[in-house]
């Protein structure tokens, strides 16, 4: 059965504080190194985001950001990987 997500109850989206900080650092790096960092690439709830805008929304703990952290927390538990590994793969993809 899928876990219920309660991002507003969990201050770091289900992550430990250290993992939250690592993921935020990796997300900022992803946004800054994205080949289309200033072009809309993500659409959510009727709004478009550039990578930089998306990273800022996540940093502000907007609903969209907390959902990402909850997803990363669940993914990390299910795969046995560090939470930042999810973002690290996206950074490597930017380099290709």
Is 43 a domain residue?
Answer: yes
Mapped to the 3 state alphabet, what secondary structure does the chain carry? Answer: CCCCCCCCCCCCCCCCHHHHHHHHHHHHHHHHHCCCCCCCCEEECCEEECHHHHHHHHHCCCHHHHHHHHHHHHHHHHHCCCCHHHHHHHHHHHHC
Q: Kindly report, residue by residue over 11-42, the tens digit of the pLDDT.
A: 677 788 898 889 999 999 999 999 988 899 88
CA pair distance 66, 34, nearest whole angstrom: 21
Number of domains in the chain: 1
Q: Kindly report, residue by residue over 40-80, the tens digit of the pLDDT.
A: 988 877 889 899 988 888 887 667 777 788 888 899 999 99
Residues found in the chain: 96
Confidence of residue 88 (pLDDT cuts 50, 70, 90): very high
Is 82 a domain residue?
Answer: yes
Q: What is the pLDDT of residue 63?
A: 72
CA 25 from chain centre, in angstroms, equals 10
Confidence of residue 84 (pLDDT cuts 50, 70, 90): very high
User: Residue 81 is part of which domain span?
Assistant: 17-95
Is 4 a domain residue?
Answer: no
Is 35 a domain residue?
Answer: yes
CA pair distance 74, 42, nearest whole angstrom: 22
Is 26 a domain residue?
Answer: yes
Is 76 a domain residue?
Answer: yes
Rg of the chain over CA atoms, in angstroms? 13
């Amino acid at each position: 059965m899928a876990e219920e997500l309660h991002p507003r109850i969990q201050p770091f989206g289900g992550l430990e504080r250290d993992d939250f900080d690592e993921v935020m650092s990796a997300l900022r790096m992803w946004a800054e190194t994205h080949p289309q960092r200033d072009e809309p690439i993500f659409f959510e709830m009727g709004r478009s985001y550039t990578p930089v805008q998306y990273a800022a929304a996540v940093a502000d703990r907007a609903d969209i950001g907390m959902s990402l952290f909850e997803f990363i927390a669940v993914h990390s538990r299910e795969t046995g990987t560090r939470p930042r590994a999810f973002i690290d793969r996206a950074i490597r993809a930017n380099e290709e």
